[in-house]
Amino acid sequence: MSAPTAPSLPTYRRQGDVGIITLDDGKANVMSTAVVDTLHAHLDQVESDGARALVLMGRPGKFSAGFDLSEMTAGVESMRALVVHGARWLMRLYGFGVPTVAACSGHALAAGALTLLSCDRRIGADVPAKIGLNEVAIGMALPKFAVELARERVPAHELGEATLGARVYDPAGAVAAGYLDRVVPEADLLEEAVTEAERLGALRTGAYGLTKLNLRGAMIDQQLATVEADMETVGMPNI
């Protein structure tokens, strides 16, 4: 009997001036250590090949279910190491020097929802999907970097319900809650995301990147400086 095939890692390609990262492991698009390593490498590629904008897309029906449960439940040190690694990537994405557009193809939970919050523009497919920070519902405190990211992107009137309440939204509700900017027909998702990326990429990228840094840099620096210490206070999820 043949050995099981390892899940596919995220891929990268160029479409004109737009780099496109696709998450498609054939399942729920979980974020393992290997996936986060690959996502970092793809951001390196965007920087080195001169792409003027980035689209991050999931597989049909699934954007990302968050961190890999096999690593999250392997032990407290494994859980903390993965979340710290993922936090560093999310903060890098949040401050990335070119425009970033999420093409939310379906479910986006926990770190998947944080990925949406980390992108400049978020376009969702009009499909049945669950989007939100469900950590409290599974017995895990939201780390400080996640709380601060939500504080910057989720409207104040919704912040408590989205974090303390672990509320999960459908795509239309996710627009009102700040996870998405708009929803489009599923068949149009990639085209709409690339068009938005091209529009933003036509701006002066140096000015765009510096303005983003001015907006977000202080928060990013603070969270990167404290994420390891903060994760020492976070226990295992009740999964």
- CB-based burial label for 195 (10 Å; 0-12, 13-18, 19+): middle
Q: Quote the distance between the C-alpha of residue 186 and its chain's center.
A: 19
pLDDT at 239: 62
pLDDT at 237: 73
> In this model, does residue 236 exceed pLDDT 90?
no
Domain ranges of the chain: 11-201
Give the residue carrying structure tokens 């090949």. 49
Rounded Cα gap, residues 53 and 19, in angstroms: 6
Rounded Cα gap, residues 192 and 143, in angstroms: 32
Q: What is the pLDDT of residues 50-104, one digit of tens each?
A: 999 999 999 999 999 999 999 999 999 999 999 999 999 999 999 999 999 999 9
- Output b/e per residue, 127-151; b: 16+ Cβ within 10 A: bebbbbbbbebeebebbbbbbbbbe
Rounded Cα gap, residues 183 and 89, in angstroms: 26
Cβ atoms of residues 123 and 193 within 8 Å: yes
Q: What is the pLDDT of residues 104-118, one digit of tens each?
A: 999 999 999 999 999
Task: Please spell the DSSP secondary structure of 97-158, one letter per residue.
Answer: SS-EEEEE-EEEETHHHHHHHHSSEEEEESSS--EE--GGGGT-PPPHHHHHHHHHHS-HHH
> In this model, does residue 8 exceed pLDDT 80?
yes
pLDDT at 15: 97
Q: Residue 230 corresponds to which amino acid?
A: D
Q: Give residue 6's pLDDT band: very low, low, confident or very high (50, 70, 90).
A: low
pLDDT at 205: 77
pLDDT at 105: 98
Would you identify the CATH topology of the domain 11-201? 2-enoyl-CoA Hydratase; Chain A, domain 1 (3.90.226)
Q: pTM value? A: 0.95
Mean pLDDT of the chain: 95
pLDDT at 235: 78
pLDDT at 234: 84
